[in-house]
Chains A and B, each alone.
Chain A
Amino acid sequence: MDTAAVSDQAVTTLKIRRYDPERDSEPHWERYEVPYEASDRLLDALHYVKWNIDGSLAFRRSCAHGVCGSDAMRINGANKLSCKVLVRDLGPEISIEPIKGLPVEKDLIVDMDPFFDAVKAVKPYLMTDDHEPTRERLQSAADRERFDDTTKCILCAACTTSCPVFWNDGEYFGPAAIVNAHRFIFDSRDSGAEERLEILNEKEGVWRCRTTFNCTDACPRGIEVTKAIQEVKRALIFRRF
Chain B
Amino acid sequence: MTATVDGAGRPVIEAPRSRAPRPGRARARSNFELYAWVFMRVSGLALIVLVFGHLFIMNVLDGGVQRINWGFVAGRYASPFWRLWDLTMLLLAELHGTNGLRTVINDYAERPQSRFWLKMMLYTSAFLVVTLGTLVIFTFDPNISG
The segment out of A16-24, A30-38, A54-62, A196-204 that lies at the interface is: A196-204
Interface size on B, residues (CB 8 A): 22
The segment out of B33-41, B86-94, B128-136 that lies at the interface is: B33-41
CB of B17 within 8 A of CB of A207, answer no
CB-defined interface of A200-241 with B at 8 Å, one 1/0 digit per residue?
011111011010000000000000000000000100110011
What B residues does A205 contact at CB under 8 A?
33
What A residues does B32 contact at CB under 8 A?
203
CB of A114 within 8 A of CB of B34, answer no
CB of B27 within 8 A of CB of A114, answer no
Q: Is residue A117 within 8 Å, beta carbon to beta carbon, of the partner chain?
A: yes
- Which chain A residues have a beta carbon within 8 Å of chain B's beta carbons? 113-114, 117, 121, 164-165, 168-169, 171, 198, 201-205, 207-208, 210, 233, 236-237, 240-241
8 contacts between A and B (CB under 8 A): A121-B22, A168-B108, A169-B106, A202-B27, A203-B26, A205-B33, A207-B36, A240-B31
Taking a contact as CB atoms closer than 8 A, the residue among A113, A201, A241 that contacts B33 in the complex is A201
- Given that A233-B37, A237-B34 are contacting pairs, would A210 and B107 also be in contact in the complex, using a CB cutoff of 8 Å? yes
Taking a contact as CB atoms closer than 8 A, the residue among A201, A210, A233 that contacts B31 in the complex is A201
What A residues does B25 contact at CB under 8 A?
121, 171, 202, 204
Known A-B contacts: A201-B33, A202-B26. Give 15 more (CB < 8 A).
A117-B22, A121-B22, A121-B25, A168-B107, A168-B108, A168-B110, A171-B23, A171-B25, A201-B31, A201-B34, A202-B27, A207-B34, A207-B36, A207-B37, A233-B37
Closest CB-CB distance, B10 to chain A, in whole Å? 29
Closest CB-CB distance, B22 to chain A, in whole Å? 5
Interface of A is mostly: helix
What A residues does B36 contact at CB under 8 A?
207
A76 to B105, CA, bound (A): 29
- Given that A202-B25, A207-B37 are contacting pairs, would A113 and B108 also be in contact in the complex, using a CB cutoff of 8 Å? no
Taking a contact as CB atoms closer than 8 A, the residue among B26, B27, B107 that contacts A165 in the complex is B107
A240 to B35, CA, bound (A): 9
CB of A198 within 8 A of CB of B34, answer no
Q: Is residue B20 within 8 Å, beta carbon to beta carbon, of the partner chain?
A: yes
CB of A236 within 8 A of CB of B17, answer no
CB of B107 within 8 A of CB of A198, answer no
Give A201's nearest chain B residue, CB to CB.
B34
What A residues does B34 contact at CB under 8 A?
201, 207, 236-237, 240
What A residues does B26 contact at CB under 8 A?
202-204
Closest CB-CB distance, A113 to chain B, in whole Å? 7
